[in-house]
Amino acid sequence: MTPLHAPGPTRISVVTPVYQGERTLPVLAEEIAALATTQTSPEGHEWVVAEWLLVFDNGPDGSADVMASLAEAYPFVRPIWLSRNFGQHAATLAGMASSGGDWIVTLDEDGQHDPRDIGVFIDVAMREQAQLVYAEPTNPAPHGALRNLTSRGAKWFFSIFLAGGSVTTFQSYRLVLGELGRSVAAYAGAGVYLDVALGWVVGRHAHAPVALRSEGEERRSGYNLRRLLSHFWRLVLSSGTRALRLVSVLGAIFAVAGVVFAIYVVIATALGAQTPVGWTSTMVVALLGTGAILLSLGVIAEYLGVAVGMAMGRPPYLITSDPQNGPLARRPGRR
């Protein structure tokens, strides 16, 4: 796609995956409309929202109708229709692939993030020469304490054990160089975790301080426990072979523990001591060993599943025309 870059302010493409934004999108549209004219960041950089790409991910509410009405009301709104529900990261990739701005901003539909903070992102990117800038919340997320705790724990686990400490934190509110984001969207495979894919190619990333807003009581989060666990598991699988290395480490730990226990039993028996060998200890060892084996096989099977899906050509997303204006919308007697 021909880039939107031209002399003048930095042009921003805002990408929003839409699942259940029927009530939140109109308010967000008013905020972004105020940014469709030239803005000046706190450090003096000029920028403008050139397009807002709304990617319909086939949610359960009336988001499609809201998107269509916003496209009629605002010239900068570009609806993108997916053939089915592919998930937030796939929808974001579809929007990034369809964008043309100098920079791409990914912004959730729930109103938790303030679009006016884009200027802060740009300042951080220019000051630190970063290709990717993540939001750094200055206040707790407006979720339950358990969800916030598990979210921080998952990101810490990924940073330490799966990313080698190269990633400290990441958020869905991010600014990424346009050509870099479009390239990632072009080659990312099915089931990929967007932040992992970005980490493969980004030379330098930074963080911008932002304040999180409440999502509002009218909108219920689309992420239940099952979705959140699936989200984390995709993060693990997208991290490459590090999870397999952890499995190898787990096997080595159990092997060493078995050798140490065997030496202990032999020595204790030779000295005439009472050794804890019996039905209970045998069952404990058997259960632990079986659990480790099944866990290892499960991780390997998941990797094989991802590889098979990619080998079969499974697309991460598929863009279609507006279903309300396509062949499915035709009525008897209508041409």
pLDDT in tens, 263-310: 776 777 777 776 655 655 676 667 677 777 777 777 776 667 666 666
**Strand 174-177 to 103-106 pairing:** antiparallel
Share of the chain above pLDDT 70, in %: 66
Lowest mean pLDDT among 4-18, 43-57, 164-178, 184-198: 164-178
Its pTM surpasses 0.85: no
Q: Average pLDDT of the chain?
A: 79
Is 13:100 a contact under the CB 8 Å cutoff?
A: yes
- Could you tell me the two tokens for 112? 């938790």
- Contact residues for 43 (Cβ-Cβ < 8 A; gap 6+): 123, 126, 127
Is 314:190 a contact under the CB 8 Å cutoff?
A: yes
Name the pLDDT band for 69 (thresholds 50, 70, 90).
very high
- Could you tell me the two tokens for 195? 């932040």
> DSSP assignment, residue 39?
E
- Could you tell me the two tokens for 299? 């991780």
pLDDT in tens, 88-124: 888 999 999 999 999 999 999 988 899 999 999 999 9
